[in-house]
Chain A
Amino acid sequence: MTLLSVQNLSVRFGPNPPVVDGVSFQIAKGETLALVGESGSGKSVTALSIMQLLDYPYASHPSGSIKFNGRELIGASEYVLRDFRGNRAAMIFQEPMTSLNPLHTIEKQVAETMILHAGMTKDDATEQVKELLELVGLRDADRRLNALPHELSGGERQRVMIAMALANKPDLLIADEPTTALDVTVQAQILNLLSSLQKKLGLAVLFISHDLDVVARVASRVCVMKDGRIVESGSSETVLKNPSHAYTKMLVASKPSGIPVGSAKNASDLVRAENVKVSFVLKKTFFGQALSVLNAVDGVDLKIKEGQAVGLVGESGSGKSTLGFSLLKLQKAGGKIIFNGTDITGLKGEKLRRLRTQMQIVFQDPYSSLSPRLTVEQIIAEGLNVHRRDLTADQKKALIEQAVKDVGLSTDILNRYPNMFSGGQRQRIALARALVLKPRLIVLDEPTSALDVTVQAQMIELLKNLQKQYKMAYLFISHDMRVVKALAEYIYVMKDGRIVESGKNPDLFETPQQPYTRQLMAAAFDF
């Protein structure tokens, strides 16, 4: 029996052309439907219009109908909608950090809808909250009713969000990228939780994701969205195994694959780090004595050979970025770091600045790593202006153009500002900025995790080609085993500031020694 039926839905903002255009789908009771697509394809807007949560009247529906249990939702009165949102349908969002109110206890937040919609008393609600939190698998639920959101981890917060959504036993749950912001191992747990809850409660779920593997795991039917339209739909089995539409084929094919570029057999060590330690003081006495310390990096030894791509894998908070920063002397660290034969541990000022031409970094978020007020040319020229004063303006220009071509962009973008580019293009610009100085080492801090899957695949290809061409070494920091497998020749696995395992590419994946490594692998490959 059809629970939700969306017919020919269009959404537009202001006078702009529609961002969702003629979307139709149905969800039956107890079924999971997935909407898959890259960022900007209109998935979230579709979800929000089902809940009628868009910014009306700036947003409008030129056509379409949304029927829930046979009742039309577009244009329904606020009274009807409020009942629908609280009692019949619920939504969980991508970002568990910001979707909970930081000032209220989790009990209060979960109980709120029950008291408002079901008219429960406070005591009854507390009982219910306890049951719900146990249902969503929050550890020590009865002792943590009074916890504030910041006392919980990301995964735990997402569990609380799910508990909130289930509070009034809805028939429909809309999950908008519920696992994207979570660590891979936690992601797997949350997905398991969602599918078990769905079976137990007979929920209908609209699952929105960009990740095909996740979708294959939870959804029975899939709709693939591109540019506001559904280009293909069907059972997840057929769509993902035998895609018919060209776009779906490309999505399926763009899973990271291939083998890494090998380095020369007799390559010398470019970086040798011994016993690197970074600690942050969390709490100190009035006189500055440390009371509690977080050892973000705790005695790490690491080697990168000339021209070698080294992967550094771990969950968030494992200290991998901090380690990467320490190797570039962007972060104060103890221990010893030898770069290209010179000990750079105590290097400072002018000498260190001169060495920076040889080591560069590319950050995770391409939206924040380019200054919004400089043109692409100015951004790329910055390193040259500091380190290559000997060059004439023409020579600089030639180097900049070369770098832009190397990263696969055309030279007529040089006078534009970063805000005119997509995430993938920006990441290429950031790469060109690092590349123009011809460094011997680039630290890549999750360079692909903010990008769409198809763009991610292109980026990995590009990185490999550049590595071959310029014989650069990479330190590739990532949480995603699949990407690392496609790119890195040697891999370090990091947990809680320590290296728990390391090994050559195929060997480590074939015979992982540590349970933690196996857990990471399971989360990445076993969907």
Chain B
Amino acid sequence: MNERTRERWRKFKANKRGYYAFVLFCFILVFVLAADFIANDKPLIVRYDGQWYFPIFKEYPETVFGGSFKTQADYRDPYVQKKINEKGFYVMPPVPYRYDTINYNLPSAAPSAPSAENWLGTDDLGRDVLARLIYGLRSSLLFGLILTVVSSVFGVFAGAVQGYFGGKIDLFAQRFLEIWASLPQLFVLIIVSSIIAPGFWTLLFVLLLFSWTALVPVVRAEFLRARNFDYVRAAYALGVPDFVIMFKHVFPNAMVATLTYLPFILSGAVVSLTALDFLGFGLPPGSPSLGDLVRQGKENLQAPWLAASAFVALAFLLTVLVFIGEAVRDAFDPRKNK
């Protein structure tokens, strides 16, 4: 870490709100990445007949635990539970439901209200809301992060080429971007996703169609400015190839603007995915997602825990991202020295 980076890190930390938001975000990220160990309908470990079993990693047929079927053991089945307890013990995760586990043992008709068993209640199919929230956050965050990285790569590259070479390339690319940006995004997304079967990767592609343009103007402007710097011209005079100049000498100047934008692009990506899921054009039916939870909340106004959980989770995540974004912006702002 050189002096400049250390100074920026210090300024980032000086913005308490942003710094704690960042710590919280990292915590959430680690938490939801470990979703399989926190919310699952399989035990973390099983001790049976003097042997250790790890059902999350490996499938065991019921016969292993003294059952009669050769299919995979259903650990929520009281019969299997009893069999294991006879010759050992098992430890369930804190939330003993997966996103698709249906609780058939509900006190009232689904959606049922929060209880000691289902902390945030269940949705209209009897699935645990907390488990779905955790998995939903995971897919939202992973989706957002991948989308952010990929669209930044495309955006930076396009902006770099436009800004560095300028002239006709820039002229035509700018006109193309103007037309592209004026397309009605949501309608195009709906049309495209009704042709292509929606899945994680196809959705990523569809959303990428529009989100890559976010960084182009910023990077282009920085490249237009920096290509006339003397040290860039000196590199050119040395005969250094264009692409080396672009990424060794010019790109570091655009780095600040790019990094400043990233948290906002990430929150934008989370919102787009939620919107598509809400409209039913998002991830395949049954997959856990924030948008799906919001939709259920809308359809089951008598069960406010659905909408409330989704709202709190979403608002919390977006707020955290915006706080981080502001802190990053401050950290890179050379005028905020004192």
**Residue positions of A touching B, CB distance < 8 A:** 58, 328, 330, 352-357, 359-361, 363-365, 368-371, 373, 382-383, 386-387, 417, 430, 433, 437
B167-205 toward A: CB 8 Å interface, digit per residue (1/0)?
A: 000000000000000000000000000000000000000
Find the A residue at minimum CB distance from B2.
A417
B332 to chain A, nearest CB (A): 14
Bound-complex Cα distance A361 to B231 (A): 11
Q: Which residues of the partner chain B approach A330 to less than 8 Å between Cβ atoms? A: 233, 236-237
B318 at the interface (CB under 8 A from A): no
Q: Which residues of the partner chain A approach B234 to less than 8 Å between Cβ atoms? A: 361, 363, 369, 430, 433
Bound-complex Cα distance A370 to B237 (A): 13
Bound-complex Cα distance A217 to B11 (A): 50
Q: Which 5 A-B pairs have the closest CB atoms?
A: A356-B239, A369-B230, A353-B239, A383-B238, A363-B230
Q: Which residues of the partner chain A approach B238 to less than 8 Å between Cβ atoms? A: 356, 360, 382-383, 386-387, 433, 437
| Complex interface residues of chain B between 1 and 55 (CB less than 8 A to chain A) | 2
Q: Which residues of the partner chain A approach B233 to less than 8 Å between Cβ atoms? A: 330, 361, 363
A-B contact pairs, 8 of them (CB 8 A): A353-B241, A357-B239, A359-B237, A364-B230, A369-B234, A371-B235, A386-B238, A433-B238
B231 and A386 within 8 A (CB): no
Bound-complex Cα distance A365 to B236 (A): 17
Other than the given A353-B239, A365-B230, 12 more pairs (CB < 8 A) read A330-B236, A352-B239, A356-B239, A361-B233, A363-B230, A368-B230, A368-B231, A371-B235, A382-B235, A386-B238, A387-B239, A433-B234
B252 at the interface (CB under 8 A from A): yes
| Complex interface residues of chain B between 244 and 272 (CB less than 8 A to chain A) | 244, 249, 252
Q: Which residues of the partner chain B approach A373 to less than 8 Å between Cβ atoms? A: 252
Q: Which residues of the partner chain A approach B252 to less than 8 Å between Cβ atoms? A: 373
| Complex interface residues of chain B between 285 and 304 (CB less than 8 A to chain A) | none
Find the B residue at minimum CB distance from A14.
B338
Bound-complex Cα distance A383 to B252 (A): 20
Q: Which residues of the partner chain A approach B249 to less than 8 Å between Cβ atoms? A: 371
B240 at the interface (CB under 8 A from A): yes
Q: Which residues of the partner chain A approach B2 to less than 8 Å between Cβ atoms? A: 417
A331 to chain B, nearest CB (A): 10
B229 at the interface (CB under 8 A from A): yes
Q: Which residues of the partner chain A approach B338 to less than 8 Å between Cβ atoms? A: 58
A368 and B229 within 8 A (CB): yes
B231 and A369 within 8 A (CB): yes
B307 to chain A, nearest CB (A): 49
Q: Which residues of the partner chain B approach A354 to less than 8 Å between Cβ atoms? A: 239
Bound-complex Cα distance A364 to B235 (A): 15
Q: Which residues of the partner chain B approach A58 to less than 8 Å between Cβ atoms? A: 338
> B237: which of A328, A365, A371 is its contact (CB, 8 Å)?
A328
Which of B235, B236, B239 has the largest number of chain A CB atoms within 10 A? B239
A-B contact count (CB 8 A): 54
Q: Which residues of the partner chain A approach B231 to less than 8 Å between Cβ atoms? A: 368-371
B295 to chain A, nearest CB (A): 48
> A356: which of B229, B237, B244 is its contact (CB, 8 Å)?
B237
B230 and A386 within 8 A (CB): no
Q: Which residues of the partner chain B approach A356 to less than 8 Å between Cβ atoms? A: 237-239
Bound-complex Cα distance A81 to B231 (A): 44
Find the B residue at minimum CB distance from A354.
B239
Q: Which residues of the partner chain B approach A369 to less than 8 Å between Cβ atoms? A: 230-231, 234
Bound-complex Cα distance A361 to B234 (A): 7
Bound-complex Cα distance A317 to B244 (A): 32
Bound-complex Cα distance A48 to B53 (A): 79
Q: Which residues of the partner chain A approach B235 to less than 8 Å between Cβ atoms? A: 371, 382
Bound-complex Cα distance A365 to B252 (A): 20
B240 to chain A, nearest CB (A): 5
Q: Which residues of the partner chain A approach B237 to less than 8 Å between Cβ atoms? A: 328, 330, 356, 359-361
B94 to chain A, nearest CB (A): 47
Q: Which residues of the partner chain B approach A361 to less than 8 Å between Cβ atoms? A: 233-234, 237
B295-338 toward A: CB 8 Å interface, digit per residue (1/0)?
A: 00000000000000000000000000000000000000000001
Q: Which residues of the partner chain B approach A383 to less than 8 Å between Cβ atoms? A: 238-240
Bound-complex Cα distance A433 to B239 (A): 12
Find the B residue at minimum CB distance from A430.
B234
Which of A356, A359, A365 has the largest number of chain B CB atoms within 10 A? A356
Q: Which residues of the partner chain A approach B229 to less than 8 Å between Cβ atoms? A: 368
A153 to chain B, nearest CB (A): 23
Bound-complex Cα distance A22 to B235 (A): 46
B276 to chain A, nearest CB (A): 40
Bound-complex Cα distance A211 to B235 (A): 33
A205 to chain B, nearest CB (A): 35
Bound-complex Cα distance A370 to B232 (A): 9
Q: Which residues of the partner chain A approach B241 to less than 8 Å between Cβ atoms? A: 353, 386
A383 to chain B, nearest CB (A): 4
Find the B residue at minimum CB distance from A383.
B238
Q: Which residues of the partner chain B approach A360 to less than 8 Å between Cβ atoms? A: 237-238
B86 to chain A, nearest CB (A): 67
Bound-complex Cα distance A369 to B235 (A): 9
Bound-complex Cα distance A10 to B231 (A): 38
Bound-complex Cα distance A357 to B233 (A): 15
| Complex interface residues of chain B between 215 and 243 (CB less than 8 A to chain A) | 229-231, 233-241
Q: Which residues of the partner chain B approach A363 to less than 8 Å between Cβ atoms? A: 230, 233-234
Find the A residue at minimum CB distance from B238.
A383
Find the B residue at minimum CB distance from A363.
B230
Bound-complex Cα distance A365 to B231 (A): 10
Bound-complex Cα distance A328 to B237 (A): 8
A94 to chain B, nearest CB (A): 21
